[in-house]
Amino acid sequence: MTNDQKENLFVLIKSLSKSEKRQFKLFVGRMDSNLDSKFLILFNLLDKMVVYDEKLIFKKDFVSKQQLSNLKAHLYKQVLISLRLNPSQQNKRMQIREQLDFATVLYQKGLYNQSLKILDRAKATAVKLEEKYAAFEIVELEKVIESQYITRSMSNRTEELVRDATYFSNQNHISSQLSNLSLELYERLIKTGYAKSDEEFRAITKFFFERLPKFDFDELGFREKLWYFKAHVWYSLLTQDFLSSYRYSMKWVDLFEEQPDMIPSHPVFYLQGNNYLLESITLLKYPIKFREVLQKMQKTLVSVEFPKNDNLSSLAFLYEYNNRFNLYFLEGNFKAGQEIIEPLLKEIDYFKNQIDEHHVMMFYYKIACLYFGSNDFEKAIVYLNLIVNNKKLKMREDLLCFTRLLNLIAHYEAGFDYHLDQHIRDTFKFLLKMGDLHEVQKSLIRFVRKLGNIYPSELKDAFRKLHEELKQYEQDPYERRAFLYLDIQSWLESKIQNKTVAEIIHAKAAVINRKNRHPTEHL
């Protein structure tokens, strides 16, 4: 790992926009004594660096090795304070915290009435925005003030404060239980993936319902309902119940549609909800609904009301491009999809400090799929090799498995016979190392091993036999996931029918879109 990756202060300064740098220098310049300070010299020096270089800092001879650590810590703090004061970084949650701080200062000065007035306004804002942890903290400070400053109306105030404290405490307890459950399920989804057997299904279901708290749903607020829906989305995805994941992700998004004021307060959750709704629609293969949801999300992203910051920009980039790829795949528009490759690669470079390597490799896989679907097998191989040859890559094994299988098929389609035997051996060794293989993967291994010995005149019959063998697994709850990573059936159908993969998928999408009934309307 390079020094500039490890140096938090350097990364923070490099993340600043021009306006944020200008704001920092104005913030520092409010006191003349700061203009020649060492931390400002260090700021300007780091700002000009391309990579972090400590030797260059010491060459400037304004700070010793012993002083540098403290100087960096001081500069880091000053940059954060400046960012906190910057209007572009402000949000309602920070404003509530600021009001609570102001009220605390007034209380410590003995200005009780002024403190209580600020707390009352802050509490109203917190309640409106469902910031119940902040609301509870405000009530607790109100109780402290009322217990020390007799307002001559304690009887009514006591009843009101006790009622508020009890309500917020109960709501926060439910929210904490639901958010804990949601986080545990999400961790399981990321680490171990989807249920692969009845035993795993039973274990996940037992885990979920044992930890799901008891409550009256009608008494839940926005935040509690949000965590409730999120937990159900993770559970549905873990158990591969795609209809339920659609239903709960739709409820998640509808929660924001019904209370649009919550979108600026919780923009990350809004984006996540839309992303998992789109993923669920992808799993159900319903292009028209997918396009509708994606366009609505894109419209919100460019609206004036939607917050703008680096974190949201990188998330919006990931979700928007990922789902644009998925739409091209759903509709079989592989050629049209190539128009986003160049802008995507530029965006990857722009957001290189915000996105991890796993997401970059996922984009490479999708680019390869676009080229494969366009019959440009050589370009597909270029991007697949970027994944296969990445020795530091930490992708899930199933994704690496289908990367190698697609790479093998692309070599076969490109006519690279000279290296085909070696690729077959390498792919076979990799798949064997995976150990716990699904039946789909086992069928593909058997086919791959025989591929080099099949005569050209026998190929179509071999493709037809593999297609029939795999067909039995398309609706199997533990096998069908494989077809989502690699649409092997459409490729086989293209070989059998002498058509392109794009033609096969486009025809399937047209059939779905002609259906008069939404596939999930019975929910």
Last-in-domain residue among 38, 62, 89: 89
Report whether pLDDT(4) > 50: no
Same domain membership, residue 277 and residue 218: no
User: pLDDT tens, 257-313?
Assistant: 999 989 988 999 999 999 999 999 998 888 889 999 999 999 999 998 898 888 899
Q: Residue 394 falls within a domain, yes or no?
A: no
My answer on whether 302 and 314 are in the same domain is yes
The answer on 226 and 258 residing in a single domain is no
Whole-number pLDDT of residue 7: 83
Last residue of a domain, one of 188, 210, 238: 238
Assess whether 255 and 327 both reside in one domain. Answer: yes
pLDDT grade, residue 378 (50/70/90)?
A: very high
- pLDDT of the residue at 486: 74
Domain assignment of residue 294, yes or no:
yes
Residue 336 placed within a domain = no
Q: Which of 37, 58, 89 is the last residue of a domain?
A: 89
pLDDT confidence of residue 403? 86
Do 405 and 486 meet the contact criterion of CB atoms below 8 Å apart? yes
33 and 43, same domain (yes or no): yes
Instruction: Name the pLDDT band for 38 (thresholds 50, 70, 90).
Output: confident
pLDDT band at 522; cut points 50, 70, 90:
very low
Tokens of 471: 């067909």
Specify the pLDDT at position 3: 45
Do 71 and 81 lie in one domain? The reply is yes
pLDDT digits (tens, 9 = 90+) for 134-180: 999 999 999 888 877 655 555 577 888 899 999 999 999 999 999 99
Whether residue 376 lies inside any domain: the answer is no
Write down the pLDDT at residue 246: 96
Say whether pLDDT at 5 is over 60: no
Which two tokens mark 417?
């016979």
Please give the pLDDT value at position 152. 55
Q: How far are the Cα atoms of 203, 487, 490 from residue 506, in angstroms, in the given order?
A: 39, 13, 10
The stretch 329-352 carries a mean pLDDT of: 90
Residue 259 within any structural domain of the chain? yes
Residue 301 covered by a domain? yes
Alpha-carbon gap, residue 234 to 188, rounded angstroms: 9
Instruction: Report the candidate in 361, 357, 372, 363 with the shortest Cα–Cα distance to residue 405.
Output: 372
Tens of pLDDT, residues 482-495: 777 778 888 888 88
What is the value of pTM for the model shown?
0.80
Band of pLDDT at residue 210, cut at 50, 70 and 90: very high
Average pLDDT over residues 458-479: 85
Candidate from 179-188, 349-358, 429-438, 512-521 with smallest mean pLDDT: 512-521
**pLDDT confidence of residue 516:** 40
Q: Which domain holds residue 36?
A: 3-89
* Integer Cα distance of 122 and 138 in angstroms: 8
CA–CA dist 25, 43 (Å, integer) = 10
Q: What's the pLDDT at 153?
A: 53
Mean pLDDT of the chain: 85
Give domain status of residue 412, yes or no: no
CA gap 187, 193 in Å, rounded: 9
The arithmetic mean of pLDDT across residues 246-259, rounded, is 96
Alpha-carbon separation of residue 249 from 223, 263, 341, 376, 434 (angstroms)? 15, 16, 29, 36, 32
- Same domain membership, residue 230 and residue 301: no
245 shares its domain with 218: no
Amino acid 90: pLDDT? 62
pLDDT, mean of residues 78-89:
79
pLDDT of residue 417: 67
Q: Are residues 78 and 63 in the same domain?
A: yes
Instruction: Identify whether the C-beta of residue 27 lies closer than 8 Å to the C-beta of residue 86.
Output: no
- Higher pLDDT: 439 or 132? It is 132
Domains held by the chain: number: 4
- Tell me: do 132 and 209 sit in the same domain: no
Residues 133 and 102 in one domain: yes
pLDDT at 42 over 60: yes
Residue 422: enclosing H or E segment and its boundaries?
Answer: helix 417-434
How far apart CA 273 and CA 262 sit, in angstroms, is 13
Query: Does 474 reside within a domain?
Result: no
Q: What pLDDT, on a 0 to 100 scale, did the predictor assign at position 174?
A: 94
pLDDT of 367 higher than 50: yes
Q: What is the pLDDT of residue 31?
A: 64
pLDDT at 1: 38
Q: What is the pLDDT of residue 436?
A: 63
The answer for residues whose C-beta is within 8 angstroms of residue 443's C-beta and 6 or more apart is 466, 469, 470, 473
Q: What is the distance between the alpha carbons of residues 122 and 133, in angstroms, rounded to a whole number?
A: 12
Query: Is it the case that residue 25 has pLDDT exceeding 70?
Result: yes
| Residue 441: predicted pLDDT | 77
Q: Domain check: are 311 and 248 in the same one?
A: yes
For residue 116, what are the CA distances in angstroms to 121, 150, 509?
9, 12, 61
pLDDT at residue 225 greater than cutoff 90: yes
Residue 132 in contact with residue 168, Cβ under 8 Å?
A: yes
Tokens 């390597």: give the residue: 357
Amino acid of residue 330: L
Q: What pLDDT does residue 278 have? A: 96
